[in-house]
């Protein structure tokens, strides 16, 4: 390969048009997914203090959010429910009248097949202790007892009309158990998105506000340790072997190495979740005048794409769809 002075790498960077021509990566609107919070018992959208620009929506406004996301060409919406009442077993998760299951039904009708309807499959929004599963007598999170609840939750979500279930609870064996429960209930076409390499992360902080989490302590006995990359790859491969249609790495930005490794080895498409803390860092730093908001958003998303994500969940999905439509330079 020739080098300087024959080869001048600045040549293809000289103008915006040349840079566009040379871009290796692009964001694709159809591969962006918007997380949406639906709160029981409110009439108007409520702001989330630690996530400027993101709202908790009332059920009555959900159809409009879904229609708007579909009109924009987004690939999906990922629904999270914020129930009015919680209990030790997370009963609201399996109840067809629970807020998340009702939201799924509303979203399915509004989507009318134009955008995929996805739902978070986890107990933390529904339990009064805030853990992702049910507790054993000693206070630990009981893996196998939780799997039974996930199986019922999955069928309730599929019955309500969810097309993709986001298994975010990090219980061992959850993909296999949910797959067989769905199949037994006749939901053979409902897909599983496994939050496979989900790390115990400080970057979920603002999300805990968004869903009004009651968690005391942390999730380190079931979510991955930040020190471990190889283990994240093993989680993804196991989930794919159990029948996951998609695997995910989460958070995205601090785990781009894991994302790249999973993207190399996964037999199924790889998603990444740019989580609430990644969102808040950029929004709040930009509001303080420290960084250029739009360029930082574009750069963060291109980094995730470059590392190997096929699909990205991001709270900026709706706004970025407009940038892509307007062919704005992203970073
Ligand atoms: C679990 C779940 C969490 C997030 C998505 N699904 C929280 C957690 O595991 O503590 C975090 C998403 C974000 O921070 O944006 N239901």
> 214 C-alpha to center of ligand 1: Å?
13
51, two tokens = 């996530």
> Would you say 248 and 169 are in contact if contact means Cβ atoms under 8 Å apart?
no
- Ligand 1 atom with the smallest distance to the CA of 201 is 10
Which is catalytic among the residues 39, 129, 198, 219?
Answer: 198
pLDDT digits (tens, 9 = 90+) for 218-248: 999 999 999 999 999 999 999 999 999 999 9
328 is catalytic: no
321, two tokens = 């769809």
Sequence-separated (6 or more) residues with CB below 8 Å from residue 127: 86, 87, 88, 89, 90, 134, 214
- Ligand 1 atom with the smallest distance to the CA of 223 is 9
- Whole-model pTM: value is 0.97
pLDDT, position 173? 98
C-beta 150 within 6 A of ligand 1: no
Q: Beta 76-82 vs 270-273: how paired, if at all?
A: unpaired
pLDDT, position 178? 98
- Ligand 1 atom with the smallest distance to the CA of 207 is 14
Backbone angles phi, psi at 112, to 5 degrees: 45, 35
> 205 C-alpha to center of ligand 1: Å?
9
Sequence-separated (6 or more) residues with CB below 8 Å from residue 219: 131, 132, 170, 200
Residue 194 has a CB neighbour count (10 Å cut-off) of 29
Burial class (CB in 10 A: 0-12, 13-18, 19+), 88: exposed
Atom 8 of ligand 1, residue of closest alpha carbon: 204
As a whole number of angstroms, the distance between CA 66 and CA 169 comes to 25
CA R_g for the chain: 20
198 is catalytic: yes
Backbone angles phi, psi at 87, to 5 degrees: -140, 180
C-beta 120 within 6 A of ligand 1: yes
pLDDT, position 328? 80
Q: Which residues of 251-267 are buried (b: 16+ CB within 10 A; e: fewer)?
A: bbbebbebbbbbbeebe
C-beta 323 within 6 A of ligand 1: no
C-beta 278 within 6 A of ligand 1: no
Residues of the chain with pLDDT under 50: none
191, two tokens = 């897909």
The region, left, alpha or beta by phi > 0 then psi within -120 to 50, assigned to residue 265 is alpha
pLDDT, position 290? 98
Which of 112, 185, 108, 201 minimizes the C-alpha distance to 153?
Answer: 185
C-beta 224 within 6 A of ligand 1: no
Q: Which residues of 92-101 are buried (b: 16+ CB within 10 A; e: fewer)?
A: bbbbeebbbb
As a whole number of angstroms, the distance between CA 178 and CA 190 comes to 10
| C-alpha to C-alpha distances, 182 to 117, 186, 293, nearest whole angstrom | 16, 6, 42
As a whole number of angstroms, the distance between CA 292 and CA 331 comes to 10
Backbone angles phi, psi at 312, to 5 degrees: -125, 125
Query: Given the structure tokens 């060409």, which residue do they identify?
Result: 73
31, two tokens = 């591969």
pLDDT digits (tens, 9 = 90+) for 189-216: 999 999 999 999 999 999 999 999 989 9
Query: Given the structure tokens 């209990």, which residue do they identify?
Result: 87
157, two tokens = 């979500």
Which of 307, 261, 299 minimizes the C-alpha distance to 278?
Answer: 299
As a whole number of angstroms, the distance between CA 60 and CA 240 comes to 37
pLDDT, position 219? 96
43, two tokens = 């009439």
How long, in residues, is the chain? 331
């Amino acid at each position: 390969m020739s080098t300087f002075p024959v080869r001048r790498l600045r040549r293809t960077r000289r103008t915006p048009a040349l840079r566009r021509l040379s871009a290796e990566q692009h964001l694709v609107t159809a591969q962006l997914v918007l997380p949406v919070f639906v709160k029981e018992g409110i009439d108007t959208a409520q702001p989330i203090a630690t996530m400027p620009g993101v709202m908790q929506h009332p059920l009555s406004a959900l159809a409009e959010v879904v229609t708007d996301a579909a009109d924009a060409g987004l690939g999906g919406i990922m629904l999270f429910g914020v129930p009015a009442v919680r209990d030790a077993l997370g009963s609201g998760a399996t109840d067809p009248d629970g807020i998340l299951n009702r939201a799924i039904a509303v979203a399915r009708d509004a989507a009318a097949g134009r955008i995929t309807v996805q739902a978070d499959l986890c107990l933390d929004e529904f339990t009064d202790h805030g853990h992702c599963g049910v507790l054993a007598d000693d206070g630990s999170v009981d893996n196998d007892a939780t799997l039974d609840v996930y199986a019922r939750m999955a069928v309730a979500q599929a019955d309500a009309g969810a097309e993709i279930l986001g298994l975010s609870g990090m219980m061992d064996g959850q993909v296999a158990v949910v797959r067989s429960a769905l199949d037994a209930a006749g939901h053979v076409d409902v897909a599983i998105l496994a939050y496979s390499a989900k790390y115990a992360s400080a970057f979920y902080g603002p999300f805990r506000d968004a869903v009004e989490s009651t968690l005391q302590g942390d999730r380190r006995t079931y979510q991955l340790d930040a020190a471990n990359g190889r283990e994240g790859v093993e989680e993804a491969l196991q989930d794919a072997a159990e029948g996951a249609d998609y695997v995910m790495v989460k958070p995205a930005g601090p785990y781009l190495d894991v994302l790249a490794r999973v993207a190399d080895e996964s037999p199924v498409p790889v998603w990444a979740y740019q989580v609430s803390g990644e969102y808040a860092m950029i929004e709040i730093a930009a509001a303080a005048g420290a960084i250029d908001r739009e360029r930082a958003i574009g750069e963060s998303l291109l980094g995730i794409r470059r590392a190997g994500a096929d699909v990205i969940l991001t709270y900026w999905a709706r706004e970025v769809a407009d940038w892509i439509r307007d062919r704005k330079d992203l970073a």
